[in-house]
Chains A and B, each alone.
Chain A
Amino acid sequence: MSDHPRSTAGGTRTRVAPRPEVVRTAKDYKGEVKPVWCPGCGDFGVLSAVTKALAALQVKPYEVVIVSGIGCSSRMPYFMSTYGLHGVHGRAIPLASGLKLSRPDLTVFAMGGDGDLMSIGAGHLPHVAARNIDITCVMMDNQVYGLTKGQGSPTSPMGHLSKSTPYGMIAKPAKPVLLALTYGATFVARGYSAQPNELSELIVEAVQHKGFSFIQVQSPCTEFYNTYDQYDSLVTDLPEDWDRSDLRAAIDLALTEDKVHLGVFFEEERPVYEIEARKFEEEVQPFDLTSYLRRFA
């Protein structure tokens, strides 16, 4: 797949006008550490899309935190100039939740792969979606465990042959978009790493959305499960007149298996946890131990 268009520079199709004083470009969000991904890895496209999105948003790098789990894709924070927290396997969402809850002023991403977010850490997704914590979760789905060299993952198709499934994967693949929709995520989208400009637009929208955003990114692994040809033929944009407030229609579409739809499936406004949890903000008092202890007298 060496002839495939990879993430390239450019692509400033965005709705956000740059602020006049300091104009940051995508490059300003890239870090000193060079990515260690394999040539052609879909995650390059995601890195490009994220940095482009941040440039479009003109957010200050030191006000952004990329939180990740473990896996190839979870190396993302090292390759950026923002703050980052490279956690343990499966815990990107709760790490990011604690940060965003305590520091709602920050722009917080939770990033990881399909192993991280659909397997070992899958139990966190329903809860962060239900709470509607304002973080942007980007799941780089390569349908394989890349860092551990090629075992089958929860999104590998039935019959998938890998070193850990030598006779074919027996389990049905998880449908991340469908799960996010049914869990109550208030922004659900799907992108494709080979279309970084479109993906960066999705990320801009996700960051601007108030509440929990989930983006599944088809991000192929050239080394262990190269699906570029497959996705090039399967991906299609959502219909022009797609009504993103229609949850049932979104669920129907997420069930589709003959096409892979790209775009924003669903978006709704719902109270945000960290704002609701601050309903006493007006009357916050400093802690006074003596008066606190009076109740025990």
Chain B
Amino acid sequence: MAATPLQEDVTLLPETIARTLGLDAYGFAGQILAALIGAFIVGNVMLAMTGVAGPWAKRKITAAFTDRIAVNRVGPFGLLIIVADAVRLLSKELIVPENVDRPAWDLAPLVVAGSALLGFAVIPMGNGIHLADPEVGLAYVFATASLASVGLVMAGYASNNKYSLLGGLRAVAQNVAYEIPLVVTGVSVVIFAGSLRMGEIVAVQRETLVVLAGVPIPSWFAIVNPFAFVLFVVANLAEVGRNPFDTPEAPTEIVAGYQTEYSSVYFVLFYLGEFVHIFLGGAIIATLFLGGPAGPVLPGFVWFVIKIWAVFLFTQWARSAMPRVRIDQLMEIGWKGLLVLSFANLVLTAIIVGVIA
């Protein structure tokens, strides 16, 4: 059914930029420049969202869940706390503990923050904001997202701190355990969509599934296959390390896990990286299951942002209300529960799609 590409007018962001700025004339160099400008824009939008989320929105959301008020002194709704916090965090002394494994220790925060940003390259954000749409889009997203585990292990090992080491080990064990169900569940969507191309996956979901009382219900995969959606959301919680799966950081057990020894800018990078990861998780969920930028009335990009913030809100909700599972229980849930369920989902999807098609 998805044999013919449903995507029309696929103009990617770099192409638009190149055309607008007249960079077409410079050939390959112009293309690269346009791509860089596009990446710069997307990266900064994402970082700006993280900037809002980290120092401000997270506090406000958690406060709402826990009966508090949170920041309200600096600026309207305490919004200027973002500026104040940025200054505060960046002006802190960067403490480098003795005997840290230097290149690895310095690179880890960059890997964590960078890997998450890379993923956004293939995410269609609506209104033509889409950097690239390769054939292997979905595989690329999963690959870049899991690069973060390398960063976490580097941080954990290079810090020369036992809490960091425990955190790093937990992080890698957890990411391996939960990436498989995540990818396998993603594959079940691919079976429906018939393509790994992100633009294609979004386009497929634009079709109308049923019309209920005059309202057309789109065939978002969250509606078509809610089971896969739930599996994916749960695995994603583990992937971004939020309750009930925040064992790699587990503040009351292993202090702060892999980031125990990091301060100042390095800490900011970790902190940002985590939020970018949550947003990337949200973007993947939005693209795979929630129709990407699709939505009525509002422009596509706004819908896209709303969707990833909804996922962010969900992670914060889980964080405020759910206890943390123990590391062995986490492994058990991952390997014995989610993995089995995700394969069951894959096989079922394959059969259903095979029978229908």
The answer to whether A and B belong to the same complex is: no
* Chain A residues near B (Cβ < 8 Å): none
